[in-house]
C-alpha cells in the first residue's frame, strides 16, 4: 500500500472540461455495459452518452474527482 500525505484537499465545486469529458465517457461506458440508469429517460433516448449527460445535469453520477494539490506534486518532484 502507498502512504497518502495528510495534506488537506481543497477544491472548487467546478470541474475542468477534461474531467467532464473523462467522467461522461466513463459513465457512458458503464451504461452501455448494463449499469443501472439513475435518471428517468424517455424511451426514445438510447444513446449512453446522452443518458450520461442527463445524469450529469441531474448531479447523480456516482463518480468522484479528487483534485491533488499541485504544490505538493512540485515538492515531491524537485531534487533535494
- Average of pLDDT values for 63-78? 70
- Average of pLDDT values for 66-70? 73
pLDDT at site 1: 47
- The per-residue pLDDT for range 4-41, each reduced to its tens digit, is 554 444 445 688 899 999 999 999 999 999 999 999 99
**Three-state DSSP state, 79:** coil
pLDDT at site 14: 81
Q: Model-level pTM?
A: 0.70
Handedness of CA 25, 27, 32, 37 (dihedral sign): negative
On whether the CB atoms of residues 39 and 51 are closer than 8 A, the answer is yes
On whether the CB atoms of residues 37 and 61 are closer than 8 A, the answer is no
Domains of the chain, each with CATH number or no CATH:
17-77 (3.90.940.10)
Q: What cell was used for 70? A: 499541485
pLDDT at site 67: 76
Task: Report the C-alpha gap between 9 and 19 in whole angstroms.
Answer: 17
Amino acid at each position: 500500500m502507498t502512504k497518502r500525505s495528510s495534506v488537506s484537499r481543497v477544491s472548487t465545486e467546478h470541474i475542468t472540461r477534461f474531467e467532464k469529458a473523462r467522467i461522461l465517457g466513463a459513465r457512458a461506458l458503464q451504461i452501455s455495459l448494463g449499469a443501472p440508469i439513475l435518471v428517468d429517460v424517455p424511451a426514445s433516448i438510447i444513446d449512453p452518452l446522452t443518458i450520461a449527460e442527463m445524469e450529469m445535469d441531474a448531479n447523480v453520477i456516482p463518480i468522484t474527482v479528487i483534485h491533488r494539490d499541485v504544490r505538493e506534486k512540485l515538492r515531491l518532484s524537485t531534487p533535494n
